[in-house]
Amino acid sequence: MACAWDFQFRVLLLGDSGVGKTSLLRWYTDGEFSSSTGQTVGVDFCSRVEEPEDGVKVRLQFWDTAGQERYRAVTRSYYRNASAVILLFDLTARPSFDNILNWYQEVIERTRPEPLIYLLLGTKSDLRAQRTVTREEGQTLADTLKAPYLETSARTGSNITAALSLLCRELLKMARQEKTQGERWKGRCTTVPEAQHTQKRTCAC
């Protein structure tokens, strides 16, 4: 499918195996939920173009770990040049919540340059009766990470668009600030050269 965009950002998804990373992405990019996402080997890519402001198209390019997170063996190249990191835990699986700080630590240690933005998501909010992490606990952790916090469900689609739209707006805001500051910006975002702005660039994606 051909599309046009003005900004492009690389967004990483991290969290324990089974928290619903692939399901969330699938819902967001394909609009569907499947009870079996399957295990892919290596890294999965997908993207979606958002229009956070009239006439400004932002392409979010998602990197989804495909199995390596099970062994905490995510390769270093995965972390390179990420603009944003989405940390996910399963609201019904307490250990995945306890592990968020480990994932965060790993990002800090391995990502060069450091990502601009974090987002914390508690997933599977549809499974209310099985919940083991409270909203307050999620919010407190998010405050520690200085990240927005939302609870999502890939089964119902609840809050997924809201979460990614928020991320997109924050990235755009940051990008505009960073661009004026120079260094930290480099390699983190692809922009269409000014000259091509009037005649939108078309890319294959």
The yes or no reply on residue 3 touching ligand GDP (CB under 6 A) is no
Distance of CA 134 to the CA centre of its chain: 22
Nearer to ligand GDP, 17 or 190 (CB): 17
Rounded to a whole number of angstroms, the minimum distance from the CB of residue 64 to Mg ion is: 6
The yes or no reply on residue 20 touching ligand GDP (CB under 6 A) is yes
Of 12, 49, 100, 154, which one interacts with ligand GDP (CB under 6 A)? 154
Nearer to Mg ion, 14 or 119 (CB): 14
Question: Segment near ligand GDP (CB under 6 A), from 74-82, 109-117, 148-156, 170-178?
Answer: 148-156
**Where do the H-state alpha helices sit in 34-186?**
76-79, 94-98, 100-110, 135-145, 160-181
Residue with tokens 């603009």: 83
Q: Which of 2, 5, 1 is nearest to 201 (CA)?
A: 5
Q: Which of 115, 118, 116, 4 is nearest to 51 (CA)?
A: 4
SS3 state at 196? helix
153: Cβ contacts below 8 Å, ≥ 6 apart: 123, 124, 125, 126, 159, 160
The yes or no reply on residue 99 touching ligand GDP (CB under 6 A) is no
Nearer to Mg ion, 3 or 43 (CB): 43
Rounded to a whole number of angstroms, the minimum distance from the CB of residue 35 to ligand GDP is: 4
Query: What residue ranges bind ligand GDP (CB under 6 A)?
Result: 17-23, 35, 37, 123-124, 126-127, 153-155
Q: Which residues bind Mg ion (CB under 5 A)?
A: 21-22
